[in-house]
Structure 1
């Protein structure tokens, strides 16, 4: 068993020197003890000590069952602008996770390990939601990763700021107009940002796309003939940008920070500086574990839907391996993925052990997610672990009670991160320049995005 300090130091060393980790080198696959050394992704930098205690306990459990494998945890956080450099430089762990949106590009570039045979041997290929399994299915029909978690877009809000502003935290806004009004009320009464939004490192484009879908629009259409059409310049995207413009320049409720991304907006929210923001429904665990959120102030609801064809943007991530690792490391990696990520979704004993271990280490258990398998199995798993659930699910009821009534929408499939990066600039322009020409910005973004799709 490795101490949390060893796990932490391994991660710090990895992040400090891109390319220093030799997880893809056959020479690194066997430790001095003769065991297969397996470097696996753990948490983003900044996770609390309890998270590492929980990981150390799980690591020990796995190694007791697999005494020929030596697991080394590595701090890891996927970020669009840096991931490609880490991948090319060989600085990623042997087992890591990527978002659904990145998997197609990695598949096209031959950068993921084929695990078709291994998944079939484990016997749960047919258990996955077919739509989710498509994210890891290559053009050859083979499978290149294990979907391990899915989420839907959600509205996250600070119950304490709601109460200070005279709002009812048990009845969060249900329309975009109500969000705008609540944001202004929060700012006027507390001086805090009533609403904030991500805008850099591809997250601005991600959230703009999410809110476009919620208003009935789409930013990309698959023509089903191998080509895709950019449809960014649509009324729903324009309405989203006008909403952000109104918060920033008319209501003064957006706040001064217009350069937030996934990590920094979580930090601002956990510090009590943001009343509301949108992100994935799986964010609670990271907010508490990595950013120190006081769980008593947390609230979550669904994202409002409007328009003729609205939907809730969904996503998730996949446990994958590089195709450059050797057979022994691959075999060890499959065992780890199955044990650490998958069995708790499928097996009652594994689910209970995972929940018990996390609970005893003070980690979140029971955060609302979308099932990568069936809804029935997901709900059954909550019954398995009900004695260990420690998240304030009543404060998340506005989400969990209503999410099943919303239509899920997948993220754009082609050049996803590149288009998100392009849309970052549009969001930043609206938040930075009061007289930004939204029509011109959308027209140019559509032209530029189509050029990316045509490459």
Structure 2
């Protein structure tokens, strides 16, 4: 694992993610289908969309490149006006990039991924040239041919072969091996166990040794509840977070959410791994009484209560420290992070965002876009000077947390050099994250369900809710019913 650049000040939508504010989608600074039209309507819509922002050249594809070799591209990733320091730093990097590449003009936006509107933007041609999307989306974008094949441009990048192949997998076309984007290093995380060190101590538990198995989680949760009166373990169950967490629990038990059957994916969450995960939640809730009475909670609800010292443990990435400390006033010294507890799976779930180029980009724009992606997102992860430069710029603001762990993007040797360069600016207690770093080194990193992941999560939210609110709930029956719904969603998504 590597130490991330900074932790974002607020959670952005959709709320369940922890990523970099420059990698918008489900993002926070941590270390957020198709429309068919006639040819005329599509052309008219594109012109109108461009007219709204001033000119055709200002639309998603910018200027495709003229005889003078100049090209312009629009890019997502600019922090919002509510974060003026990060926004200024971003614009300074844009200016520096344009100075180093005088024939490329960057037109940034602070637009973020929105599952309800972005497909229409892509179909209508108003999406930016460089887009960021959650890790649930790239396979669908690739299948619909809405993003550009970047294989040739990326293979010309000297660091390509050093880039973590596990992070490359989500943006690859499994059938052809072609690469359509990169998982952004800043904000990339794997699911773990977030816990309150102060409550651990009060309950007689060792804050430096969080649970590593789900049975240990159950025991610790009961101890916290019985000895402190607080919730031992909390679960998120709304806005797709119930299904999202259940996926991690399934992976930790050796299961999967989807499997390939012939040439298509079908539901695979009706087996023992997912059923056992739900049964454990049910028993912690109704047998141990260690989960409290409020079971309809969003991620923000849980983070807020965690910050107030009312929750001992819950599942999240270590970059949850950002909103817990910065937005909800939690104490940094009380925040602890461990690896995702296991029960035979030896695996955890990878999260974050991908950076891709829209299919409408010209060859010149594609080349320019890849240059921007490598400079903005990848260079700080392998270049010690760039990493230190960015940390130095942000270290003046004590609200920005530097040093929170994230998934390593490059070789161990490269990472050690980057970590050494960043060490003077680290302002978080690294020891609080050491159980996460050590534990994750031994786990497989599994990506989110490859087809219609958000719909899978949405179908499973009610299942998790039922298990935690109904004493006589039948996990197996609930999963069978959800699988019927998801089967249709997967069929439509392929």
1:99-148 CA-to-partner distances (Å, cap 9, x unmatched) read 33211011111222332333234333323233432321234443221222
Structure 1 residue corresponding to 2:181, chosen from 113, 121, 145: 145
Per the alignment, residue 12 of structure 2 pairs with: none
Distance 1:79 1:420, change over 3 A: farther
| 1-structure distance, mates of 2:420, 2:469 | 48
1:377 to 387, 410, 414: 414
Deviation at 1:168, TM superposition (A): 2.6
Q: How does 1:180-219 map to 2 (within 5 A)?
A: 180-219=218-257
In structure 2, distance between residues paired with 1:129 and 1:24: 40
Report the TM-score, using the length of structure 1 for normalisation. Answer: 0.82
Q: TM-score, normalised by structure 2?
A: 0.76
Q: CA deviation at 1:157?
A: 0.9
Judged with a 3 Å threshold, the aligned counterparts in structure 2 of structure 1 residues 124 and 435 are, in CA distance, closer, same or farther, namely same
Structure 2: segments with no counterpart, 5+ residues: 1-20, 25-31, 33-48, 64-69
Per-residue deviation, residues 217-247 of structure 1 (Å, max 9, x unmatched): 2232234x42334221222211211122123
Give the secondary structure class of the aligned counterpart of 1:397.
Answer: helix
Tell me how far apart the structure 2 counterparts of residues 23 and 364 of structure 1 sit (CA, whole Å): 38
Aligned-partner SS, 1:96: strand
Structure 2: distance between partners of 1:332 and 1:267: 42
Aligned-pair CA distance for 1:210: 0.7
Q: How many residue pairs were aligned?
A: 433
Partners of 2:275 and 2:475 within 8 A in 1: yes
Query: 1:265 — aligned with what?
Result: 302
CA pair 268-145 structure 1, distance change in 2 beyond 3 A = farther
In the TM superposition, what is the alpha-carbon distance from 1:25 to its structure 2 partner? 5.9
Matched, 1:359 2:400: no
Select 2:141's aligned residue among 96, 101, 106: 106
Secondary structure in 2 matching 1:360: coil
CA displacement at 1:388 relative to structure 2:
2.0
**Relative to structure 1, is the Cα distance of residues 98 and 23 closer, same or farther in structure 2, using a 3 angstrom cutoff?**
farther
CA contact (8 A) 2:136 2:454 kept: yes
Is structure 2 residue 348 aligned with structure 1 residue 317? no
| Aligned with residue 170 of structure 2, among 119, 135, 140 | 135
Which deviates more from structure 2 when the two are superposed, residues 88-97 or residues 101-110? Answer: 88-97
Decide whether the 8 Å contact of 2:194 with 2:317 is kept in 1. Answer: no
Number of the residue aligned with 1:168: 206
Per-residue deviation, 1:56 = 5.2
Which structure 2 residues correspond to residues 414-425 of structure 1 after superposition, within 5 A? 414-425=451-462
Task: Tell me: CA distance 1:440–1:379, structure 2 relative to 1, closer, same or farther (3 Å).
Answer: same
Match of 2:406, SS state, is: coil
Say if 2:300 is the partner of 1:297: no
Residue 58 of structure 2 corresponds to: 27
For 1:449 and 1:23, how far apart are their aligned partners in 2?
A: 43
Q: Match of 2:401, SS?
A: coil
Report the secondary structure of 2:409's partner residue: coil
Deviation at 1:171, TM superposition (A): 2.0
Alignment correspondent of 1:5:
none
Judge conservation of contact 2:81–2:87 (CA < 8 Å) in 1: no
Which residue in 1 is equivalent to 2:194?
A: 156
What is the CA-CA distance between 1:35 and the residue it aligns to? 9.5
Q: Residues 67-118 of structure 1: CA distance to partner in whole angstroms, max 9, x if unpaired?
A: 6635545163x56566546656777654332233211011111222332333
Q: 1:95 to 1:268 in 2, by over 3 A?
A: farther
Match in the other structure for 1:4: none
Could you tell me which residue of structure 1 aligns to residue 3 of structure 2?
A: none
**Structure 2 vs 1, CA of residues 173 and 46 (structure 1 numbering), >3 Å: closer, same or farther?**
farther
What displacement does 1:304 show? 1.6
Q: Secondary structure at the match of 2:424?
A: coil
- CA, structure 1 residues 228+181, in 2 after alignment: closer, same or farther (shift >3 Å)? same
Question: Do the aligned partners of residues 298 and 53 (structure 1) sit closer, same or farther apart at CA in structure 2, a change above 3 Å counting?
Answer: farther
Cα deviation 1:157-186 (Å, max 9, x = unaligned): 122232344433222223222222322333
Is the partner of 1:276 in helix, strand or coil?
A: strand
| Candidates 346, 368, 380, aligned match of 2:405 | 368
For the residue of structure 2 that corresponds to 1:425, the secondary structure is: helix
Say if 1:198 and 1:204, in contact at 8 Å, map to a contact too: yes
2:284–2:291 contact (8 Å) kept in structure 1: yes
**Larger mean Cα displacement after TM superposition, 319-328 or 416-425:** 319-328
Distance 1:26 1:436, change over 3 A: farther
Offset at 1:52? 4.2
Task: Indicate the SS of the match to 2:459.
Answer: helix
Distance between the aligned counterparts of 1:187 and 1:47, measured in 2? 38
Q: Secondary structure of the equivalent of 1:405?
A: coil
**What is the CA deviation profile of residues 405-434 of structure 1, one whole-angstrom value per residue up to 9, with x for unaligned ones?**
223333332332222221122112212323
